[in-house]
Amino acid sequence: MDGLVVYSVIDCNGVVSDVPTKISFDHDTTEGTVTNQIEPDYNTYVNTAKNEVYVFYYTNLDTKSVPDTSAFSFYETDADFYQSDVITPAAISINNVEITNKIGDRSAVKLTIDSSNYTGNWEDLYLAYDVPENNPIQDNSGNKSEDFRCKVVEPGTQIENATVPDDNYYIYFTIPVSIYFSGEDAWYENGDVYVDGKKIDDKNILTDDDAYVGLNVYIHDDSITTKPQKIEVKCNDGKFYNASNDELGELSITDIAQDENVCITNASYNSENNELQITVSGMDLENNASPYACQFVLKVNDKEYRLRGGIVEWWNQGNDRIYCFNESNLKHLELDGTETMSIKYDSWPNGDTENSWGYLNTASGKPVASTEFVPVTK
């Protein structure tokens, strides 16, 4: 026996290799202990009274390793911290540092501050942390937080981004309820949604939650046949708090937008990189709209093929959204760039009624209808 472990290799199509593969793990070449750096949420949150700031981590922090206040400082800048040429220390003192673990594997660093002498713009403020020699921010495994420069944000206190489609019975909005401060089950046990005074059945409500900042709320209710005039969220027991631990009052909104049509306006193929890019106009899509490649059909010389692979890479460009299909999505087609091609979005139901991931949805949460084929240029 050679002491090696035998593995079977499975390719992306689920085919098991006929040839066993042996892999050697040489522990003798590893010296010391390898640790990973941990990172905070990209924003920090200041309360209404301007005397508390919170930094959040998606891990359990060591509550006994609390850095001195000198590890933190505030700076004012007229642009992104890393791109600005003008960075000025802000007249804000830090009086105390505290670390809490309130729910699951999530933690907060609370700074008690004195901002009475600060006369600048809070929207231009950044919090800086430089790792100290003693008592750094770290998790329970000893992984230390790296230096960070995070923008200071005043979290919302009302419902925002309410959107409905033309047929109205889909509704999307965001609420500033922080599960971290309100309680892990606070929303699910105590949150009620009312549309024009009618209480929405919980089974028609889906939330995509961020435990720190707030909740994305999706409603699909066939009884909502006209554009809502008012959406309300009520706490039927206890209280709701936002990401800076401010108590929230009545939550409501009357400014409700409507979806715009979503369509593919351009498609191009790069034979050198074997990449296909499409442009979706309007950008009126879910912020996290990451469809699977199998939701798109490519017509090659009049023969249709469904693309392969998981989530498609995407980015925003002006008012448009660009989706990029790479070799992993196209390799089964063996394209050489001489073909006549066109592409369309064609949702392929998988029978999963509990999840909408993998599909393209509008900002209201309504699934995007299949599109017509759009020619692909080279």
Domain assignment present for 22: no
The conformation of residue 335, written as its DSSP 8-state character, comes to -
Residue 105 DSSP label? T
Q: How confident is the model at residue 30 (pLDDT cuts 50, 70, 90)?
A: very low
| Res 8 pLDDT > 50 | yes
Contact (Cβ atoms closer than 8 angstroms) between residue 251 and residue 158 = yes
1 in a structural domain:
no
The verdict on residue 329 lying in a domain is yes
Query: Shortest CA distance to 312 belongs to which of 278, 354, 347, 353?
Result: 278
Pairwise CA distance, residues 234 & 31, whole Å: 56
The pTM score is 0.73
Average of per-residue pLDDT values in the chain:
85
Angle at 82 between CA 78 and CA 88, to 5 degrees: 45
Task: pLDDT band for 354, please (50, 70, 90 cuts).
Answer: very low
**Do both 49 and 139 map to the same domain?**
yes
Torsion angle of alpha carbons 133, 138, 143, 149, nearest 10°? -80
Residues 99 and 49 in one domain: yes
CB 272 within 8 A of CB 309: no
CATH code of residue 182: 2.60.40
- Identify whether residues 53 and 101 lie together within a single domain: yes
Residue 54 lies in a domain: yes
Q: How far apart are CA 287 and CA 296, in angstroms?
A: 19
Per the model's pLDDT, the better-predicted residue between 256 and 168 turns out to be 256
pLDDT of residue 29: 47
3-state helix, strand, coil in the chain (%, to 5): 10, 40, 50
Average pLDDT score over residue span 291-308: 91
Give the residue carrying structure tokens 């206190």.
Answer: 157
48 and 149 belong to one structural domain: yes
Give the residue numbers spanning the domain of 184: 160-258
Check whether residue 252 and residue 269 sit in a common domain.
Answer: no
Chain centre to alpha carbon of residue 264 = 24
- Give Cα 204 distance to the centre of its chain: 22
Q: Are strands 341-345 and 374-375 parallel, antiparallel or unpaired?
A: antiparallel
Q: What are phi and psi of 328, to 5 degrees?
A: -65, -25
In a domain, 33, yes or no: no
Which structure tokens are listed for 9? 């290799």
pLDDT tens-digit map of 205-229:
988 776 788 898 999 998 998 999 9
The first and second tokens of residue 349, run together, are 């139901």
Q: Given 136, 153, 170, which residue is the final one in a domain? A: 153
CA torsion through residues 346, 348, 354, 359, sign: negative
Nearest residue to 138 via CA among 38, 42, 51: 38
pLDDT the model gives residue 353: 43
Among 117, 132, 153, the domain-final residue is 153
What is the model's pLDDT at position 373? 94
Residue 50: pLDDT over 70: yes
Task: Give me the percent of the chain exceeding a pLDDT of 90.
Answer: 54
Instruction: State the total domains in the chain.
Output: 3
d(CA 92, CA 79): 19
**Confidence at residue 27, expressed as pLDDT on a 0 to 100 scale:** 47
Q: What whole-number distance in Å separates Cα of residue 301 and Cα of residue 305? A: 11
34 domain-assigned:
no
Per-residue confidence band for 291, with pLDDT thresholds at 50, 70 and 90: confident
Q: Is residue 35 part of a domain?
A: no
